[in-house]
Amino acid sequence: MSGLAATSVGDAPVRFAFLHGLFGRGRNWTQIAQGLAALGHGSVLFDLPNHGASPWTATFSYAESAAAVCAEIENRLAGAPPILVGHSMGGKVAMIGALTRPELFAGLAVVDISPTESGQVSSFGPYLAAMRGIDLTTLTGKADADRQLSATVANPAVRQFLLTNLRDRGGWHWQPNLELLAASLPELASWPEVGPVTFERPTSWVVGERSPYYRAEDLALMQRYFPSVHQVVIPDAGHWVHADNPAAVITALAELSAASPR
């Protein structure tokens, strides 16, 4: 696979590397990265494989995605281990990366996901079907796409999030690899076996108070893999924690940075 697309935020040396969730892209973390830049921390925001401007792959696995991220960290940030931050799908990629290549990272923030089966991912199936059901050859614009999606996706905020993936480059196309993602929903929901390994450096488990992905009992699973884990429950936040309460997330990440080696 060729390199992953990435956006840099801030003039300071990179302290954080961000990984988005399903249907997302690195820019989803721009507000958080800008808040951290004001505190003197640079960030790099990655588009994961099959998302954003990054390459598509023939198959999906968390191990392959984590390996691609680790390769980018080695190539871009040699000698300066960042804190890796991952949300949802990106959180699982981040956990696998930290567990398999712990020397690459100064710390880890896992945002609203845990190392177990995530049955909630099945709710993305109708979104994928609705997106794939749009005839892009006759599409007149994003307003037309929004109208078509509304038949299946009632929430306008969710529709707008999905439509950030629609691009016109001499013809409309979806940036994510919808065919592969639809076929890979079971793998996306799963947690792969990684063996008896741990990541010993500072780790924050940042979860939304109102998120259906947050189960308090999963803290024991986090402690199994991440002995130094600290749970941070973000008030007034659902699954998209960083959008629902950005100030609290910035504070949590700044505190993690203070506790992590440089």
DSSP bridge partners of 50: none
Q: How far apart are CA 177 and CA 218, in angstroms?
A: 30
- Cβ(81)–Cβ(105) under 8 Å? yes
DSSP bridge partners of 208: 234
User: Which residues form the catalytic set?
Assistant: 88, 179, 239
Helix (H) or strand (E) holding 167: strand 166-168
- Cβ(24)–Cβ(90) under 8 Å? yes
Q: How far apart are CA 59 and CA 50, in angstroms?
A: 10
At 174, give phi and psi (nearest 5°).
-90, 135
